[in-house]
Structure 1
Amino acid sequence: MENTAEDRMHAAQGHKANLSNPNTSEESKKNSRQALEQLGGEDAFYGKKGDDAPAAGMGDDNRVLGGHKATLSNEGTSDAAKQHSKEVLEKNS
């Protein structure tokens, strides 16, 4: 099976969902954190511009940036996610 950018993105999404699920064990969450790091950390989920990026060709950059902007005002979002979104928005302004 080929490990494309899209495959990595889908795997990262599953691990992100596991981390936010209150019904999963700490051991499972630890495994998901490690898997996300092996997939490339936050870049595997959010992507970077370029040919090998998960977000490449998968939508409008303005929508991605809009999602980051929404993250900043979402009360349910972690401080780490808000910091990441803030950095992305500053980098792309």
Structure 2
Amino acid sequence: MDSASDQKNLGNVIGGHKANLHNPNTSEEAKQHSREVLEELGLETGSYTSGPSSADVNIVGKNPGNVAGGYKATLHNPNVSEEAKERAQEKLEKLEKMGAE
């Protein structure tokens, strides 16, 4: 991503594909395309029959740089469990693949 507007647009793209997966009037072919796009971005699509995963909700509609900063803070916080640090590292890697940094 080259600019802040590109990052905002990525959030809109992700949101549009997620909405497509929930739309009962959308064809299965269109839903499959949306799943493929979301998976290419490193987002899980298996939970979309019941709604987006909590990890995805944390990213969409927010400033990816701030989200990444929160995950980095988690990694350096001595009061956070190792398990939480591992999850934060995984999410941070997903964000980096999406170009949030």
- Does the TM-score normalized on the shorter chain lie above 0.5? no
Q: Tell me the TM-score normalised to structure 2 length.
A: 0.42
Q: Tell me the TM-score normalised to structure 1 length.
A: 0.45
With a CA cutoff of 8 Å and minimum separation of 6, indicate the structure with the bigger relative contact order.
2
